[in-house]
A and B are shown apart, each in its own frame.
Chain A
Amino acid sequence: MAPRTKASLVIGAVAAAALALAGCGTSGGGGSSPSAQPAKTEIGAGEGQLSILGWPGYVEDGSNDPAVDWVHPFEQETGCKVSFKPFGTSDEAVTLMRTGQYDVISASGDASLRLVAGQDVQPVNMSLLKNYPDIYPFLKDKAWNTVDGVNYGMPHGWGANLLMYSTDKVTPAPTSWNAVFDDAAKNTGKVTAYDSPIYIADAGVYLMAHKPELGIKNPYALDKDQLAAAVDLLKQQRTHVGEYWSDVVKEVQAFTSGSTVVGTTWQVGANLAEANGAKVAAFLPSEGATGWSDTWMIGSKTKNPNCAYKWLDYIASPKVNAQVAEYFGESPANAKACGQTKDPKHCETYHSGDEAYAEKIWYWTTPVAACLDGRKDVKCTDYSEWTKAWTEIKG
């Protein structure tokens, strides 16, 4: 066959396939009204099985570390046999949950609202969960787990995005996010920041304190002008950033070697860096900070609702919540968990019950067009606009 005919055959095949695909296209986006499904009124006998979608480290059956196992006790207690699927990012979680194959999911604030809007999760009757009253009050009825007064799940753990610096290289010790924004030039090339569009909210927190004239009330509700101001600030910062991080291990290594001396971290990163012998300190700056809070939710298409309810109650029970929080490196949601941790100072290190501390944290929430701060007169920028802005900031 001559090359020419071969080429035209290939093109023809592509065209045919494209046409076939175009034919399948049915118009229509997703519905965005919350699920109308009624909540359960009682927990019956277990169905014998439960499939869980969760962050790695949240569902351990002893196969990674024989000492870390809270799945087998659950199976013995309830007769619900657990199958577990871990996910790497919130977006992967949303995509997997949409298949309807999973009964429960541990969703972070940047995924939970999308799950509710996509009708992938169902309302949860919190009065059926006996551990719910012990959950810290400041984690209840929040924008990322409650929509229109309807609860969508069990709060599980939380953490803040802190500011970390090398104590021997950054003097005087910073007290504000200034160190990575207006004062970033002092450590140019050695500043780090979290590599995700959601980091724009960190700039929002800073602007809220330092440029009140912009009128930012919630860092996840930025209109066009406010977003532009945040983007400007981050572009300025970009000239001093040596590296953006998304992998906490990589960030710890950069602090240990000295490639980075100041920037955002999680408490677990600060602990790791100190364990590595790096001279660092991490703290919550005066402006407050962004953070994350996870919620266990129940799939809307679940066939095992009783086992799902049992899991939500079990995972938030004091002993198990303490085990998970320590293994994962976060604050437990259950106040009684603090008495059960192996390290008696765990809750102190992570500021678990510290309401004043928690109040300074703006937990990750998906930015949406309908302003989260309640403004009706403007349209806010949504997450895809943030993603495009983030690409633009990095240049």
Chain B
Amino acid sequence: MAQQIQQLPPGAPRTAGDVPRAKANTFSALLHRSPRLRLAGLLTAPALWLVLVYIAALAALLVTAFWTVDTFTGQVSTEWTTENIVTVLTDPVYQRITLRTLWIAVAVTLIDMVLALPIAFFIAKVAPARWEKLLVVAVLMPLWASYLVKAYAWRNVLAEGGLLEWLGAPIGLSSPGYGETAVILTLSYIWLPYMILPIYAGFDRVPDSLLEASGDLGAKPLTTMRLVMLPLLVPSIIAGTIFTFSLSLGDYITAQIVGGTTQMLGTVVYANVGAANNLPFAAAVSLVPIAIIMFYLFIVRRTGALNNL
């Protein structure tokens, strides 16, 4: 502590009589005596942050959903109404959009799971140790490019006469064009690293000796995979799905760039905030993905996956 260091003039003789003594600091003494006070002091700042910035923002959203907007001047009127929520839940359009968004999120998650498992397995267990770090870096590499750049790159790949069509032509495949399929493809690409990393970490934690023991006991590789590895990996896989699922659920940029006419919950929120200035309705729509992801987290809580995030 700065105030306790006493400056001596250079060359001043140090005699036993004027050895600098720490002044009694009553505050630090108090903290020293009371562990509870110490803890409170440490936790106040982060707790305030959590409550004010995070929880209060969410609560504000929740409350806004029960308000309405003066559609002409765009000013929010704070009269309570459940109209927005009722519309979102009962109007067939929003039900369809919710189902479509769910389907896209589930498809992206499944595709990433299928792609990530062998890649993560290869990096963690097959590749030589000196390659391991390099491969992890390679997986992370796409994250260094902006999300928008990647989405626009896919726009070009999927375009008429684009890369996909050129590649598919010899085997009679054509590009899916812009639409739901394009959104699923693009999102799967963009979120893949978020699935590979937790699964890789999971594989890395399985000791090699366990696999050797399984082999020694006569298990074939696939059996080892199924009965030894997979059960140990389940929490890691679920950790990965939380990323891909929740990120897809809230996405609106990809849907706008390659979605063609596809609407997702995110684009509806965006349209109501950006174009219509109807914040209360946007808030009501955004409660849907929040509810879905809460429900999902509640289900997977018991698997221990949350400790793997």
A residues lining the B interface (CB < 8 Å): 10, 13-14, 17-18, 21-22, 25-32, 89, 91-92, 94-95, 113-114, 117-118, 189, 196-197, 238, 241-244, 246, 250, 253-254, 257-259, 366, 368-369, 382-388, 390-392, 394-395
Q: Other CB < 8 Å A-B pairs besides A10-B55, A244-B260, A394-B263, 13 of them? A: A18-B59, A91-B274, A95-B277, A117-B72, A117-B73, A118-B73, A196-B275, A241-B260, A242-B178, A258-B160, A384-B69, A391-B97, A392-B93
Give CA–CA (A22, B59) in the complex, Å.
Answer: 10
Cα of A386 to Cα of B74 in the assembled complex, Å:
14
- Point out the residues of chain B lying under 8 angstroms from A386, CB to CB: 276
Alpha-carbon separation in the docked complex, A243 to B255 (Å)? 11
For the complex, is B70 an interface residue (Cβ under 8 Å from A)? yes
Interface string of B55-87 (1 = CB under 8 A from A): 110111011000101111111011100000001
Contact with A along B241-262 (1 / 0, CB 8 A): 0000000000000001100110
Residue of A nearest to B76 (CB): A29
As a 0/1 sequence over residues 272 to 304 of chain B, the CB contacts with chain A under 8 angstroms (1 = contact) are 111111100100000000000000000000000
A368 and B73 CA atoms in complex are apart in Å by 10
Q: How far is the CA of A22 from the CA of B79 in the complex (A)?
A: 10
CA distance A383 to B71 in the complex (A): 7
Please indicate the chain A residues that have their CB under 8 angstroms from the CB of B261 in the complex: 238, 241-244, 394-395
For the complex, what is the distance from the CA of A26 to the CA of B79, rounded to whole Å?
8
Name 11 A/B residue pairs within 8 A (Cβ), A-sorted: A18-B59, A29-B73, A91-B273, A91-B274, A118-B75, A246-B256, A368-B72, A386-B276, A387-B272, A391-B97, A395-B96
CA distance A22 to B78 in the complex (A): 9
**Which of A13, A382, A388 has the largest number of chain B CB atoms within 10 A?**
A388
Q: How far is the CB of B69 from chain A (nearest CB, A)?
A: 7
Q: Are A94 and B271 in contact (CB under 8 A)?
A: no
**Which 3 A-B residue pairs are closest in the complex by CB-CB distance?**
A30-B73, A30-B75, A387-B276
B142 at interface (Cβ–Cβ under 8 A)? no
- The residue in chain A whose Cβ has the minimal distance to the Cβ of B162 is A257
Chain B window 160-185, contacts with chain A (Cβ cutoff 8 Å), 1 for yes, 0 for no: 11100000000000000110000000
Q: Which residues of the partner chain A approach B60 to less than 8 Å between Cβ atoms? A: 17, 21
**Contact indicator B71/A242 (Cβ below 8 Å):** no
* Cβ of A246 to closest chain B Cβ, rounded Å: 8
Please state if A118 and B74 are interface contacts (CB–CB under 8 Å): yes
Q: A238-B261, A258-B161, A259-B177 are contacts. A14–B73 as well, Cβ < 8 Å?
A: no
- Which of B56, B78, B159 lies in contact with A257, CB distance below 8 A? B159
Return chain B residues, CB-CB under 8 Å to A14: 55, 58-59, 62
Let me know if B73 and A32 touch, CB within 8 A: yes
CB pair A259–B55 under 8 Å, yes or no, is: no
Contact of A91 (CB < 8 Å), options: B56, B67, B260, B277: B277
- A387/B63 in contact, CB under 8 A: no
Contacts of A242 in B (CB 8 A): 177-178, 260-261
| 8 A Cβ contacts from B229-244 to A | none
The distance in angstroms between the C-alpha atoms of A91 and B270, with both chains bound, is 12
With known contacts A22-B63, A89-B274, A238-B261, A114–B72 Cβ distance under 8 A: yes
B41 shortest CB reach to chain A, Å: 18
Interface centre among B55, B56, B257, B261 (most CB of A within 10 A): B261
Contact with A along B172-206 (1 / 0, CB 8 A): 00000110000000000000000000000000000
CB < 8 Å: which of A197, A244, A250 contacts B276? A197
Is B139 interfacial (CB 8 A cutoff)?
Answer: no
Distance to closest chain A CB from B74 (angstroms): 5
Q: Is there an interface contact between A21 and B63, defined as CB atoms closer than 8 Å?
A: yes
Q: Are A259 and B160 in contact (CB under 8 A)?
A: yes
| Contact between chains at B178 and A384 (CB < 8 Å) | no
How far is B195's CA from A310's CA once the two chains are assembled, in angstroms? Answer: 58
| A259 with B159: CB separation less than 8 A | yes
Which residues on B sit within 8 Å (CB–CB) of A392?
93
Q: Of residues 99 to 133 in B, which have CB atoms within 8 Å of A's CB atoms?
A: none
B-chain residues with CB within 8 Å of residue A28 when the two chains form the complex = 77-78
Nearest chain-B residue to A392 (Cβ)? B93
B227 at the interface (CB under 8 A from A): no
B219 at the interface (CB under 8 A from A): no
Distance in Å from the Cβ of B254 to the closest Cβ of chain A? 13
> Is B37 at the interface (CB under 8 A from chain A)?
no
B263 lies within 8 A of A391 (CB): yes
B31 at the interface (CB under 8 A from A): no
A103 to B95: give the CA distance in the assembly, Å: 44
